[in-house]
Chain A
């Protein structure tokens, strides 16, 4: 097991993949941190200033609908703790997707480069091989989280402090979000390994995962809103959005509501862990049964 993890890490280290993932992690973290910092700066102002910033000063006559929308947005976000959490976990949006892709690549790479034969010849116990890949994916995810968090906490703390809100790092809710963010990275990496086993083609698996992740969050939100408005006008319909994996990971790390009727943090965590375990079990099962040509 130990050997397999070392071999997998060596394999990652000896292709250009290593640098691609590292660069993507750093760049996406920095970009998202900047975006979140701009938003935080506005949201933390009093409401009238927030409106002025959001409408770029030339406010004029604001339609009442839009004003109500701004009001609810400001109420959700106007908290130093919420903004600290958002800033310190800026890396998550793209980071967990990268962790998932890494998991996918670890598995599909074996088929893409026809190395599965060699791998399974060297270690015929396939369950252990998959376990080695899971451990490797999680270790890499932890590393990505570490890199991302060092950047966001350092830069985010300086930013918050400079804005006069303190670093907020003393609050358990903030620290808990940072740690839960780590769990999100790890679970998504496990999820990726399972997904890669399910869809063997590297291209298909990476594209499918990326699209599902990016479109899934917003698309699912719209779908659930429509169902809520036109089909079943019950609050649990909105809460049920949490079954979509990217929404579950957002719910999991946010100490405050992320959308209308969003369920408690532990629900998001439970959903995500459920997906991770299911993906790992199904992936292992598929890889154990499959014939290697």
Chain B
């Protein structure tokens, strides 16, 4: 709807206050990577980009520049059908970057990428953001989003659930933070912690899961009880936990 590809039943979507349809040169304002496989199978990557240049009135030399930008120059003259998923994603980004836009929208950019490709994508997008551009990514890979994003918006079943920086969203759900502690004297520590009102359970290995006490309190209690600690970590919920907690029961298939 933002990009005028799907017609909304009501309302409008704007970018910088203007509808996509009203932008004079949309490709110079906003670039989008929506489908990895969107090029003719029998056309080379370079020719695909050149056709895009022609369609938006950019010089054909931009095709070579963006190919360089995404590191696809060595494969530029191969047919699209021979491209790996990672190369297709890079070509999609190259096409989106043709008009040197200030806003970039990506849908599931990490889909089908190998670990190296994911890292490249993350660094590339963060580099663009560091230049002052806006990068909007939609994804289901929450751990990847946690590593990549500054701000997150959680949407489920068509409704806005939570919005804020990654830290804000994480801490909004961190009320039941737990502490994992490993010690050679489990029983002694468990007894000491229960005395101060913490809830202690075995974690199945040689550690204890403590709730109702911060990591600092657990550490001080162990010191007072004379118990040595081998490991003490506060379990922070990750974006995936938060997402599942927030959207529980709402993500029905529609």
Contacts and interface: CB of A to CB of B under 8 A. Distances in A.
Contacts of B55: 3-4, 7, 119, 122-123
Contacts of A120: 4-5
Nearest to A13: B47
A289 B26 CA distance: 20
A47 B198 CA distance: 115
Given A14-B43, A122-B27, A291 B5 contact: yes
Given A289-B7, A291-B5, A292-B6, A118 B42 contact: no
Contacts of A161: none
Contacts of A123: 26, 55-56
Contact of B43 (A11, A125, A293): A11
Given A124-B26, A292-B5, A117 B51 contact: no
Contacts of A122: 26-27, 52, 55-56
Contact of A118 (B4, B23, B47, B52): B52
Interface in B178-224: none
A3 B42 contact: no
A118 B50 CA distance: 13
Contact of A114 (B37, B43, B52): B37
A250 to B, nearest CB: 35
A293 B40 CA distance: 17
A120 B6 CA distance: 11
Contacts of A293: 5-6
Contacts of B7: 289, 291
A121 B44 contact: no
B96 to A, nearest CB: 8
A132 to B, nearest CB: 9
Nearest to B42: A15
A236 B128 CA distance: 71
Contact of B38 (A15, A114, A124): A114
B39 A115 contact: yes
A6 B21 contact: no
A124 B41 CA distance: 23
B44 to A, nearest CB: 7
Interface string B82-109: 0000000000000100000000000000
Nearest to B98: A122
Nearest to A132: B55
A117 B35 contact: yes
Given A292-B5, A292-B6, A6 B54 contact: yes
B135 interface: no
B242 interface: no
Contacts of B5: 117, 120-121, 291-293
B56 A3 contact: yes
B34 interface: yes
A7 B48 CA distance: 10
A230 interface: no
A16 B42 contact: yes
A125 B6 contact: no
B44 A7 contact: no
Interface string B160-176: 00000000000000000
Contact of B47 (A14, A124, A125): A14
A113 B41 contact: yes
Given A10-B50, A11-B43, A121 B3 contact: yes
B4 A113 contact: no
Contacts of A119: 55
A274 B71 CA distance: 51
B3 A124 contact: yes
Contacts of A124: 3-4, 20-21, 23, 26
A3 B34 contact: no
B228 interface: no
Contacts of B37: 114
Contacts of B112: none
A7 B54 contact: yes
A293 B7 CA distance: 11
The 7 closest A-B pairs by CB, nearest first: A7-B55, A7-B54, A14-B47, A292-B5, A291-B6, A124-B4, A113-B40
Interface of A: 3-4, 6-7, 10-11, 14-16, 109, 113-115, 117-125, 289, 291-293
23 contacts: A3-B54, A3-B55, A4-B55, A7-B51, A10-B47, A11-B40, A14-B44, A14-B51, A15-B42, A16-B42, A109-B40, A115-B38, A115-B40, A117-B34, A117-B35, A121-B3, A121-B26, A122-B52, A123-B26, A123-B55, A292-B5, A292-B6, A293-B6
Given A114-B37, A117-B35, A291-B7, 10 more contacts: A7-B54, A11-B43, A14-B44, A15-B43, A16-B42, A113-B39, A118-B39, A122-B26, A122-B56, A292-B5
